[in-house]
Amino acid sequence: MTSREPGGLYRNPTEGATTMFKSTEAFSGFSVDDVPEAKKFYGETLGLEVSDGEMGLLTLHIAGDRDTIVYPKGEAHEPASFTVLNFPVDDIEKAVDELAERGVEFERYAGTEMETDEKGIFRSGGPLIAWFSDPAGNTLSVIEVD
């Protein structure tokens, strides 16, 4: 049995857990300063399906039915301080090479605990990962999965 609390949250009294969002299909979003440039980058450079929405929104249609919203902030945009999207790949070498051929430049973290090699791939523990930025400065990655 669940009980409704102020604000519309539902609690399972035996577990004390909020269940309001148990079956909702949440989605993520991040801002950009230039929507047409973002649309070109995500659609043409990365090869994602991108659709236009109301009020200048873009929707990135990512495999697994995990749509991501990209919204305009214009001059008020500040790049996210975290990786906004991670793209799992089977072969990071191939992914980095193909993206580099499309003009993507990979981050280099020389002299840090996240030091990357000459291709921009982190190889010092954990999964192989390479970070790059979208035109708005938001950090993205390709990460090798088994």
- Assigned domain for 33 exists: no
Grade residue 1 by pLDDT with cuts at 50, 70 and 90. very low
Which residues span the domain enclosing 107?
Answer: 78-146
Residue 140 pLDDT: 98
> Does residue 143 contact residue 129 with C-beta atoms inside 8 Å?
yes
Element (H, E) at 43: none
104: domain CATH number? 3.10.180.10
- Assigned domain for 26 exists: no
Tell me how far apart the alpha carbons of residues 42 and 65 are, in angstroms, rounded to a whole number.
16
Task: List, in order, residues 6 or more apart from 5 with CB less than 8 Å away.
Answer: 11
Question: pTM for this structure?
Answer: 0.83
- Assigned domain for 73 exists: no
- Assigned domain for 114 exists: yes
Our count of domains for the chain comes to 1
Residue 23 pLDDT: 82
- Assigned domain for 52 exists: no
